[in-house]
Chain A
Amino acid sequence: MAEHIIPKRTYYIIFATLMVCTYLTWQVAYFDLGPLNTIAALGIAVFKAVLVVLFFMHVRYSTRLTWAVVAGGLFWLMILLALTFSDYLTRGWLRTA
């Protein structure tokens, strides 16, 4: 397997992007956007996490086997969240009596 050395420049660009995103997530919290506040906060956090995983953790340059394992882990997390929320977040929907 050939070694892939990621140039320092890539790390600096990712770092700068993460810092800008931190500033954004902090500033956007002071505006009342209704439910969009949570969506914006989580959206930015997911974007930052993806950058860290792909570049700092080198998954972008890893083998398909690593990709499959990482994706499988996230899929399992999604099952955990989706099945639990399908119960708790829908309890008020059928309040008939």
Chain B
Amino acid sequence: MPDGHGAIAHHPALAHQFDDLGQQKEAATLGMWAFLITEILFFGGMFLLYSVYRSMYPAAFAAASHEMIVWAGTLNTCVLITSSLTMALAVHAAQTDNRRLLVLFLVATMALGTVFLGVKAFEYYTEFSEHHLPGPGFHFGEEAYAKQAQIFFSLYFMMTGLHALHMIIGLGVMTVMLWMSLRGRITPEYYTPIEVSGLYWHFVDIVWIFLFPLLYLIGRHLHG
């Protein structure tokens, strides 16, 4: 059957429903953004819930936020921003056909993601030890705020837990990207998988950019 392309060989990664790789990349990027918008609204609902409860109980939220380990949150913010940089540089390496750097930056991104989860695990361990996990064993120093502080910690564990789940999925995606890169499946003509996974990784970074000030820093000035 004549396909109108004559003798021009198809790129192996080009799916038959697309005219060319550029159109295919555009479609993939758009599809990823459509998914990310559902994610924005998913996390948006939780930020909404947080805002409503915080407006109801500002003093309790400030007191509970004061129990957060600020240095760990700040460190994790820096770790995630750095991982976004290495992810962006991985895309650059793919575009400029530098496979060694591509692999290096993917590994660096995964390593930083793992550091983030390690710090988060340390924080969870500390909070469990201090009985800040909502439930029958919950304990909060300032008795007057105990019930309302439990709402803060419920939101904290739900939001950071879902964020951490996204990080774990991101690490899985990056493992596939690393495998594809090592197999030589990523070229300057076709690096769409790296680009699209990067969009996901940066999105997860943006969620943390909002979680950090809202969970760790509110009412910080109240107690010094």
Contact = CB atoms under 8 A, between A and B. Distances in A.
Contact of B206 (A41, A52, A63, A76): A52
B81 A15 contact: yes
Contact of B25 (A1, A5, A69, A88): A1
Contact of B88 (A45, A56, A73, A81): A56
Contact of B36 (A11, A37, A45, A73): A73
Contacts of A58: 195
B37 A76 contact: yes
B59 interface: no
Chain B interface, DSSP helix/strand/loop, else mixed: helix
Contacts of A33: 221
Interface residues on B, range: 35 or more
Chain A interface, DSSP helix/strand/loop, else mixed: helix
A89 B48 CA distance: 12
Given A66-B30, A77-B40, A22 B77 contact: yes
Interface string B174-206: 000000000000001000000100110011011
A77 B224 CA distance: 34
B96 A73 contact: no
B211 to A, nearest CB: 9
Contact of A15 (B26, B34, B82, B92): B82
Contacts of B119: none
Contacts of B25: 1
B102 interface: no
A71 B41 CA distance: 13
A44 B45 contact: no
Contact of A80 (B41, B56, B70, B199): B41
B148 interface: no
A6 B92 contact: yes
Interface in A2-57: 3, 5-6, 8, 11-12, 14-15, 18-19, 22, 25-26, 29-33, 37-38, 41-42, 44-45, 48-49, 52-53, 55-57
